[in-house]
């Protein structure tokens, strides 16, 4: 008995359309009559659209379906497409490399974003807006610190780190307090224990039952 395993089948270019669509595309490539081949291609396009209705939210989704048909056929399907045939290189082009900023982060628990925020706030003119942003930054620094280290930290440490990262350009306004840990990180709620009652409650229920038996 011969078994038909997926690992032995032809690899599908677009698995989201399924094996049956792949077989239909392979079949119409064997049709010699061009008109019949064109009609079969249009039928497959309708099936592909029904299998992936989310493509209808994409601009010019019909064009995308015909491109997908060409991709499934490995660009070897000779039909009269309503759109220019796509170039194979378009689908095998490697994505452009995203430029990342190089350099060490001084404090990993604060992260790159905090450093960028500090740099931006340091260049601002003195005033209420800069003071407000400084307060937001120092509270976020404290939140990041206790999230990474899972412990308490004094406000003086956070303020000192901010002063160091800003080269002394950011200072806390007199009278402004940093939020407490409980306000920055909500406590984890404990799940109620399930099972029989323990302690006094269990003894109370036992006492009621015992008293009832006396009468």
- Terminal-residue alpha carbon distance, the chain: 79
- Record the pTM: 0.42
The whole-number average pLDDT for the span 196-210 is: 51
* Mean per-residue pLDDT of the chain: 80
Q: Which of 33, 61, 92 is the last residue of a domain?
A: 92
- Whether residue 82 is found in the same domain as residue 132: no
Report the percentage of the chain scoring pLDDT > 70: 74
Q: Which of 59, 92, 125 is the last residue of a domain?
A: 92
What's the residue count for the chain? 215
Domain count, the chain: 2
Per-residue pLDDT reduced to its tens digit, 111-136: 888 999 999 999 999 998 999 999 99
Class of residue 30 by CB neighbours under 10 A (exposed 0-12, middle 13-18, buried 19+)? exposed
Asked if pLDDT for residue 203 goes beyond 70, the answer is no
Q: Residue 56 and residue 62: Cα distance in Å, rounded?
A: 8
Give the domain extent around 118: 111-184
- Token digits for 88? 């194979």
Is position 131 within any domain? yes
- Whether residue 117 is found in the same domain as residue 85: no
Is position 38 within any domain? yes
């Amino acid at each position: 008995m011969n078994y038909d395993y997926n690992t032995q089948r032809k690899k599908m270019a677009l698995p989201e359309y399924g094996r049956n669509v792949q077989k239909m595309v392979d079949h119409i490539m064997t049709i010699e009559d061009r008109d019949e081949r064109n009609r079969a291609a249009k039928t497959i396009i309708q099936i592909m659209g029904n299998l992936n209705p989310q493509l209808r939210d994409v601009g010019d989704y019909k064009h995308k379906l015909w491109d997908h048909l060409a991709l499934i056929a490995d660009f070897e399907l000779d039909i009269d497409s309503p759109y220019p045939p796509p170039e194979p290189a378009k689908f095998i082009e490697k994505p452009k490399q995203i430029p990342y900023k190089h350099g060490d982060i001084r404090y990993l628990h604060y992260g790159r974003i905090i450093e960028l925020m500090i740099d931006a706030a340091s260049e601002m003119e003195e005033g209420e807006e800069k003071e407000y942003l400084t307060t937001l930054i120092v509270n976020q620094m404290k939140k990041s610190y206790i999230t990474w280290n899972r412990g308490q930290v004094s406000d003086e440490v956070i303020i000192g780190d901010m002063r160091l990262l800003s080269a002394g350009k950011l200072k806390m306004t007199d009278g402004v307090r940093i939020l407490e840990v409980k306000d920055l990180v909500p406590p984890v709620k404990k799940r109620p224990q399930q099972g029989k009652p323990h302690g006094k409650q269990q003894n109370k229920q036992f006492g009621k039952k015992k008293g009832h038996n006396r009468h």
